[in-house]
Amino acid sequence: MEAPALNYLNNGHGAASWLLTKDHKRIALLYLASITAFFALGGFFAMMIRLELLTPAGDVTSPEMYNRMFTMHGVVMVFFFLIPSIPAVLGNFLIPIMIGAKDLAFPRINLLSWYIYVLGGLFTLVAALSGGVDTGWTFYTPYSTAAANSHVITAAVGIFITGFSSILTGLNFIVTIHRMRAPGMTWFRLPLFVWAHYATSLIMILGTPVIAITILMVAAERALHLGIFDPALGGDPVLFQHLFWFYSHPAVYIMILPAMGVISEVVQAFSRKNIFGYSFIAFSSLAIAVIGFLVWGHHLFVAGQSTYAGLVFSVLSFMVAVPSAIKVFNWTATIYKGSVSLDSPMLYAFGFLGLFTIGGLTGLFLGAMGLDIHVHDTYFVVAHFHYIMVGGAIMGYLGGLHYWWPKISGRLYSEPWAKLSAVIVFVGFNLTFFPQFIAGYIGMPRRYHVYPPEFQVLNVLSSAGASVLAVGYVLPLIYLTYSIFAGAKSPADPWGAKGLEWEIPSPPPTENFGITPIVTHGTHQYAPRIEKKEVGVV
């Protein structure tokens, strides 16, 4: 049967039909457009950094300007790209469809969250255009409250506002997953993508308010000289670091858990196999969310934290690696003896598996107190977290975008170009960030705009890799956009994949399902599974 003429894309035209929409799928596209713009902005700051570091001398930017570049790069990429990327775009689009619902529980709040995101983004843009912030994305006190001569408050207000968009998205997801599942869609029939987003949402609602109040205290201290963190006013700057990392470490899991959800889906679809260890993957998402809240102290090993606190945080940091490793092993076991096809989403998934493993293992190095003191604040740390955030989260995001693009747009993109760009991203990424492990290990500190000449070879490699990576990121923008206008129409299920989203037309109708589906077995079953007892229709 042909796709019905009316779908969510052609159901209503004009700016108002988009800007006032309550359809989760259209809101996902609003987010897609805005996070892409912020990704380009953050990428621009990254290119400025790599350009400056091409030579040992400070020749492109002044030291002050360099500080603003890496600060704005961090702020934009973390708060305006990585945190909303997969949840607000793919999660928004897919979660209601995957659980058999017509929309998220609160469509108006969903739209509100996008406007809040845009408002926060505008504040950050104003801060950037009027000269930027130079504190680092970490806003450490007392520098940020007493010394920094830049637009700290404007940027802080932007982050504060955007935090509420994240909170509202998390709230919407939690209520939706609890209350909107179709009849028969039990918890253990949920796609693992949904489990990953449930765990992510827990972090969003529990962590984000803490960074909000912390930023508020920083702004109050800076604007009104209320003494909270500044030692001159009787405060303790280490308390700021505790509060900041209480959110900002779990925030890393806000970035990586949804990517893990994407990988769970993609690995099944392109291995043509049921996932290995469904419940282990589901519960490891929750375990990461819970243990992830107890590891923040590993950012304070050299900040005057007591040795005993350091020991406990070190052990807990090792523990959070266990559920991550469970996932990696289970994905590998899923691929084992599968009927693997190397379509572009699967290439991204393979990239994710390798890069996330390297990022995760070097995280264990950093969780060990002795080694952390050696490499603290060096490029080793920079390389480690880029392997997680870029090698993990962005690979997952791109993989997911390619996997669901035919569903989202109703069009097929050019597979050869997609494969090429996946390879370019992988090569460019490694060329950019692997040399940084070496540079950091032999002592190159982060956040300096000049460096001794012996580091130059590694930095040239890194800057060259960044140019390759940029090509890899621009290519999808071109061929995905091109597919909207000239791509072949996609069937409902172009991959032969499983899941409710592949059973409705591409692009989906506004209501998703004409009749609420009734689910009688786990989604994503690529092979029959013997159930202990037959489950009836509700």
Partner 1 sequence: MSDGHTPSEHYPGPVHGVPVHAEPGYAGLSGQVHGHVPHHPKLQHHFDDMDQQVEASTLGMWVFLVTEIMFFGGLFMAYLVYRSAQPDAFQEASAHLSIFWGGLNTAVLIFSSLTMALAVRAAQTSLPPKVQVGWIVATMFLGSVFLGVKVIEYSDKFRESIVPGPYFNAAMWTHPTGVEMFYSLYFIMTGLHALHMIIGIALMAVIAWMAWRRQFDSSYYTPVEVSGLYWHFVDIVWIFLFPLLYLIGRHYGEGH
Interacting residues with partner 1 between 513 and 532 (CB under 8 A)? 513-521, 523, 525-528
CB 515, min distance to partner 1, A:
4
CB 243, min distance to partner 1, A:
6
CB 201, min distance to partner 1, A:
9
Comparison of 203 and 390: residue with beta carbon closer to partner 1:
203
Answer whether 448's CB lies under 8 Å from 39's CB: no
Q: Which residue in 54, 119, 146, 206 binds partner 1 (CB under 8 A)?
A: 206
Maximum distance among all Cα pairs of the chain, rounded to whole angstroms: 73
CB 503, min distance to partner 1, A:
5
The verdict on 294 binding partner 1 (CB under 8 A) reads no
* CA 238 – CA 214 distance, rounded (Å): 12
Write the interaction track for partner 1 spanning residues 243-262; mark x where CB under 8 A is met and - where it is not: x--x----------------
The verdict on 14 binding partner 1 (CB under 8 A) reads no
Answer whether 49's CB lies under 8 Å from 73's CB: yes
Region near partner 1 per CB under 8 A, out of 13-21, 154-162, 348-356, 508-516: 508-516
Q: Which residue in 13, 179, 337, 532 binds partner 1 (CB under 8 A)?
A: 179
CB 504, min distance to partner 1, A:
7
- The two three-digit tokens of residue 403, written as one number: 């996997």
Under DSSP, is residue 33 helix (H, G, I), strand (E, B) or coil? helix
Rounded to the nearest 10 degrees, what angle do helices 307-335 and 344-367 cross at?
160
The verdict on 95 binding partner 1 (CB under 8 A) reads no
What Rg, from alpha-carbon coordinates, does the chain have?
Answer: 23
The verdict on 219 binding partner 1 (CB under 8 A) reads no
Query: How far is C-alpha 490 from the geometric centre of its chain's CA atoms?
Result: 27
* CA 479 – CA 164 distance, rounded (Å): 34
Comparison of 67 and 172: residue with beta carbon closer to partner 1:
172
* CA 89 – CA 96 distance, rounded (Å): 12
Answer whether 391's CB lies under 8 Å from 362's CB: no
Q: Which residue in 178, 312, 415, 447 binds partner 1 (CB under 8 A)?
A: 178
Answer whether 451's CB lies under 8 Å from 444's CB: yes
Using the structure block, give the residue that is written with the tokens 């009027």. 130
* CA 414 – CA 487 distance, rounded (Å): 8
Interaction residues for partner 1, span 437-496 (CB under 8 A): 491-493, 496
Comparison of 216 and 468: residue with beta carbon closer to partner 1:
216
Comparison of 386 and 407: residue with beta carbon closer to partner 1:
407
* CA 12 – CA 26 distance, rounded (Å): 11
Q: What is the DSSP string of 306-343?
A: -HHHHHHHHHHHHHHHHHHHHHHHHHHHHHTTS-----
Comparison of 108 and 453: residue with beta carbon closer to partner 1:
108
The verdict on 355 binding partner 1 (CB under 8 A) reads no
Under DSSP, is residue 139 helix (H, G, I), strand (E, B) or coil? coil
Q: Which residue in 210, 328, 393, 422 binds partner 1 (CB under 8 A)?
A: 210
Comparison of 167 and 444: residue with beta carbon closer to partner 1:
167
CB 105, min distance to partner 1, A:
4
Comparison of 160 and 195: residue with beta carbon closer to partner 1:
160
The verdict on 102 binding partner 1 (CB under 8 A) reads yes
CB 455, min distance to partner 1, A:
39
Q: Which residue in 60, 118, 236, 357 binds partner 1 (CB under 8 A)?
A: 236
Comparison of 217 and 381: residue with beta carbon closer to partner 1:
217
Q: How many CA atoms lie within 13 A of 508 on its CB side?
A: 27
The verdict on 1 binding partner 1 (CB under 8 A) reads yes
The verdict on 227 binding partner 1 (CB under 8 A) reads yes
Contacts of 444 (CB under 8 A, 6+ apart): 378, 379, 451, 455, 458
Kindly report the backbone phi and psi dihedral angles of residue 347, in degrees, each rounded to the nearest multiple of 5, phi listed first.
Answer: -60, -45
Each residue of 526-538: b (16+ CB within 10 Å) or e? beeeeeeeeeeee
Interaction residues for partner 1, span 116-175 (CB under 8 A): 167, 171-172, 174-175
The verdict on 354 binding partner 1 (CB under 8 A) reads no
Q: Which amino acid is at 52?
A: E
The verdict on 184 binding partner 1 (CB under 8 A) reads yes
The verdict on 406 binding partner 1 (CB under 8 A) reads no
Region near partner 1 per CB under 8 A, out of 117-125, 203-211, 275-283, 433-441: 203-211
